[in-house]
Every structure is written in structure tokens, then in C-alpha cells.
Amino acid sequence: MSLINYAVGVYHFLGDKAPKDVPLVDPKPRPANPWQQNGRAIVANVKASENLRASVDKVLALLGGLEMAIKRGDKVLIKPNFNSPDPLPGSTDLPFLRAVIEILLEAGAKVTIGESAGGAWRPTRNVFRKLGLFEFAHQLGVELIAFEDRVDDWVRIKIDGNFLSTVTMPRSAYEADRLVYLPCMKTHNLARFSGALKLAMGFMHPGERRAMHLGNLGNKVAEINLCWQPDLIIMDGRKAFVSGGPDRGELVEPGLLLASGNIVAVDAEAVKVLLSYHGKNRLTADPWELPQIATALRHELGTRGYTLVE
């Protein structure tokens, strides 16, 4: 990152302010998880092949089929990880994103990509530009939103958290019929790990994110998810960081794709994968003891028990 771009990012991190006069709304109703086996959430796990589209098709089929949650005509907002313009697992891999979008479009969904980059890399449109996302979205015929560029696109959601009481989130995500999360698999210097739960922080208005770092980050990250939960998570674990993160770190190649309708279960399984490597990180030996996952369980955002289908 150039010194000028870094200075611009720091300016945004320190200077962005959340809007004051926005509607106060209740959390979105929690979607029922259609992918279960004997009452337990399913996490599907496949070894990715060179044919990425076939691999995504395979993990969805193993999960139980896309049609169980997403129907023709649904307005689907995809939330990738474009916190920075770094390659996978620093950010979402464009061929992976393309494969998921093509599957959704073929299912008849109306697709929008939405994201807001991290403080040091904002404005988000600069990240989009560096990654070629504007042309990418144009080629696929889907909408691309940098959340902070839309001044009026915000609602304040009241939640019953122990650390957060309201969170300012994009109206475009709040009003979408379906939410699809595409997290990466990696450790995180501050939050310990970054997966599906952590992905929600990219929705949060940039002006509210500074306070997240003043303590109890993992607990607060989990509570953002009280605003809503995704209908589908597909995690790209072909490459992962087992130390460092979120943008750079010690790289390993598990070669996996994970999919689930349960945001806690998929993160727990991802942490187990990270723990199978000997990275220098702050992960606990028991994934369920990590603040993000433990807090999410207390708020019933997911279940401890799940069925791994490989």
C-alpha cells in the first residue's frame, strides 16, 4: 500500500461518522436452516478441484441443494470479504465469486454484491478498482455496492446484546430476500480468527467500527450477527492464514470448501481446520471457547452440535 493510500485510509478510519437520523428497526427475522440431518445442522466439506465451478456445485449438492433456500426471483445480496485488495485468503477470490454468482443467476436469483472495506483500505471503491470488480460485475450483469457510498442506505437495528445495543447496517442488506456469505478462512491479529461471524463487520457502518476495537472485539463481532443471519455460507478454504491476518499471514493450503446454513457450526469447523496446522496464533484448543463462537452460542445464533458431511 502506498503512503498516500495509507494516509487516506487512516483519515477514513478516524474520521468516518455514523449517520444520526436513520430509521430504528427490529432485527430481521431469523431464517430457518433448511440444511439439517436428524435435527442437527449440516456442514458440508469438499476437497476443491481445479474445476472450481464443479467444486462449488459439489459442496452445495452435499449440503442438500441450493433450491432449499433460494428460489427464482429472490433478491440475493452476496457478502464477500473485500476488506483489502490482497489475494486469497486476504480477500475473496474472483473466480470463486464468479462461480457462486453464476450458480445463483442460473437459479433465477437477482444478485447484488455488497461490501465495505476495512479502515486502512477505504474508500471501498478503491479496493473495488484495484481488484477489477467494477468490470467483473458489469460482465456478469450484477449490481455492485460500496455501502458507505450510499448516504441514505442505512438503518439502525436495535439488538439485545451484552456489548452492543444498536448497530447501523445497510438497508440494501436488511431488505434483501436472501443473504449469502462468502468468508475466507484465516486467523486475525485482533479478533483471533476471521470467518462467517467476522464477515458481518463489513456491513457495519464505518463510523461505528472504531469503538469495536476498544475491548471485547470477539464478543462484539458475534453480537453484530444479532441484526440478521445469512441464509447460506460458502467458505473458501483452499488457502488459509494460520498466523497473522486479516490481509497477510502464514499461508497454508487446506484445499477445502465448506458450506452450511449455520453460521456458528461453519466457523467452528473452520477453526478446527486452522488448528490442524502449527501456526503462531491466539486460537484456543477448543473452538467453542473462542469469544466469537462462545458469545454466538449464548445468543443462540447457532448450535454446538452439527453433522460434518464430507
Cell numbers of 18, please? 455514523
Give the pLDDT mean for 107-135: 95
As a whole number of Å, the CA-based R_g of the chain is: 18
Give the pLDDT score at 310: 94
Give the pLDDT score at 151: 86
pLDDT band at 18 (very low <50, low <70, confident <90, very high): confident
Give the pLDDT score at 152: 87
Q: Residue 5: is its pLDDT beyond 60? A: no
- Give long-range contacts, CB 8 A cutoff, 24+ apart: 165-169: 166/24, 167/204, 167/208, 167/223, 167/224, 167/226, 167/227, 168/18, 168/19, 168/22, 168/204, 168/205, 168/207, 168/208, 169/203, 169/204, 169/205, 169/227, 169/228
Give the pLDDT score at 4: 55
pLDDT for 262-277, tens place per residue? 999 999 999 999 999 9
Non-local CB neighbours of 31 within 8 Å, separated by 6+ positions: 69, 229, 231, 261
Give the pLDDT score at 9: 54
Give the pLDDT score at 185: 98
Task: Compute how many other C-beta atoms are within 10 angstroms of the C-beta atom of residue 181.
Answer: 25
Give the pLDDT score at 17: 78
Give the pLDDT mean for 241-245: 97
Give the pLDDT mean for 273-298: 97
Of residues 209, 201, 207, 247, the one with CA closest to residue 227: 201
- In the chain, which ranges are continuous DSSP H helix? 3-15, 52-63, 94-106, 124-131, 133-140, 171-174, 196-199, 206-209, 217-224, 263-275, 291-298
Give the pLDDT score at 288: 97
Give the pLDDT score at 162: 96
Give the pLDDT score at 20: 84
Q: Residue 93: is its pLDDT beyond 70? A: yes
pLDDT for 191-207, tens place per residue? 999 999 999 999 999 99
Q: Residue 182: is its pLDDT beyond 90? A: yes
> Rounded to an integer, what distance in angstroms lies between the CA atom of residue 195 and that of residue 270?
8
Residue of higher predicted confidence among 213 and 56:
56
Q: Which fold has domain 3-309?
A: Rossmann fold (3.40.50)
Q: Residue 12: is its pLDDT beyond 90? A: no
pLDDT band at 119 (very low <50, low <70, confident <90, very high): confident
Give the pLDDT score at 21: 87
Residues 153, 170: contact at Cβ < 8 Å? yes
Of residues 230, 224, 249, the one with CA closest to residue 239: 249
Instruction: For the chain, give every domain's residue range.
Output: 3-309
Give the pLDDT mean for 48-72: 97
The answer to whether the pTM exceeds 0.85 is yes
How many H helices and E strands in the chain? 11, 15
Share above pLDDT 70 across residues of the chain, in percent, rounded to a whole number:
95
Place of cell 437459479: 107
